[in-house]
Structures are given as structure tokens and as C-alpha cells.
Amino acid sequence: MTSCLLCGSQLMPVIDLRVLLSFCPLQKSETCQRCWQKFTPIQQTHCCPECGRQQSGTTQCSDCRRWGRTDGFVNRALFAYDEVMQAFMVQYKFRGDYRLRRVFQSAFIDAVKTLEPDLVVPIPVHPDTLRTRGFNQVAGFLEGVSWRDMLTTVAEIKQTPQSSKQRADRLVTPQPFKLKDEQKNICVGKRVLVVDDIYTTGTTIRFAADILRQAGSLEVHGLTLAHG
């Protein structure tokens, strides 16, 4: 018997007639229904078509209109960055509960299957952060997905978390990434999906997209766990 990763309650598999007739193995759940329903999924019919921000319709949001970007980059966010998601990220990312990577792995696997990229590239973390935390929180979500470690951080630039910056500071951040030498020809002519945890202003994921686009990618889009 397995337990919910979030509250510790025992998980009981839900078996209906459709599952019985499919002869497929039961899908393993990592959370109970009560905990899962606390998260707010972003519906594609109620989000900004450019950044994935949750809203009432599908028109371009005010932030994207103000930016006026013309690079064709589109981000899909899976959940809203509300209080429940913030609490999850504190426990997973900052307190280092690596078990929690499993909570959203199925959601990422399904999203990647839907988007059908040629390459999946997670945002890297600075070596100092990796030594302290012990893991890349984005790569943790991607277990079960084929991805490439193509980017590295610029040695002299250690990013302050975007969530802790003022908006004006986020928008003047220097390019924090570069392409690994051995990966320079991998993305030529490929459809690339950059993956990050939280989309705040989009600065971080767009920096990564810029590098991959300059390296010859056919197109580069984004996928994030949440938008906030």
C-alpha cells in the first residue's frame, strides 16, 4: 500500500469498468484525490496564447502585449502558481524533498507527448545551487521523458530566483546561459521544448530559448509547471 506524497494518507486505486476492460496496468498515483484537487490546472481555453497565463479567455494578456515580442515563442503552463503551488515548491525546491518530483511527473509526460518536440531541454541550475540543493528540480520532473542536457550556466552569473526579484530587476537580468560545446550542432533544424518550473516574467525561459534559437533550432517553445 502506497501513501500520498503530500499528506501521507493511504492511496486506494480507483478501478472502474473502463480500466478493467482495457487490460492495462493501473496507473500509479502519487497523491490522494483530495490533495490533487487543491492544485489549479490551467485550461488551454482560458489562458494567454503566448505565455500560458491563466485568464478568462484566449486573447493575449497585458504582460505579453506590453512586451511586444515577435520571436514566436509560446509557453504552456500546466498549473496556476497559487498558494498551494507555492507551498509545494517551498517543500520540494527549497527544503529539498526530492520525493515530491514524482507528484507532477505524469503531467509532464502527458504534456510532452501532446507537444511532440524533437528535443526536450530543461533549464539548468548553477553549480553552486546544485551542490547545495543536490538536484535539478526541473530535471526531476522529467523522469520518464527523454531529454538532453544542452545548456549550462555562465560561471560568473548566479541567478537570484526570479520570484524574489522586483519586476524591474527581472527584466534587466544578463544572459545567464550558454550552449555546451559538445551540443552545438544537436538542435539544428529541430523543434525544441525548453522546460522550467515557474514562469514569472518569462525572462529565464526566454533567455534559454534565445540561445537554442541562435544555435539553429527550427522553433523553440516552453513548458512550465506553473505560471505566476
Q: Give residue 70's pLDDT.
A: 81
Residue-range domains of the chain with CATH: 1-38 (no CATH), 40-227 (3.40.50)
Question: In a structure prediction context, what are the per-residue pLDDT tens digits for the chain, which is 228 residues long?
Answer: 689 999 999 997 665 555 455 454 445 689 999 999 999 999 999 999 999 999 999 999 999 998 888 889 999 999 999 999 999 999 999 999 999 999 999 999 999 999 999 999 999 999 999 999 999 999 999 999 999 999 999 976 555 555 555 555 656 789 999 999 999 899 999 999 999 999 999 999 999 999 999 999 999 999 999 998
Q: Give residue 69's pLDDT.
A: 82
Question: For the chain, first and last CA: distance in Å?
Answer: 35
The H-or-E segment that residue 224 falls in is strand 219-227
31 within 8 A of 9, measured Cβ to Cβ: no
* H runs (alpha helix) in the chain: 17-22, 33-36, 62-67, 83-89, 105-115, 127-133, 137-141, 167-170, 203-214
Q: What's the predicted TM-score (pTM) here?
A: 0.88
Q: Is 88 helix (H, G, I), strand (E, B) or coil?
A: helix
Q: From residue 125, how far is each of 42, 184, 196, 202 by CA, in Å?
A: 26, 19, 10, 16
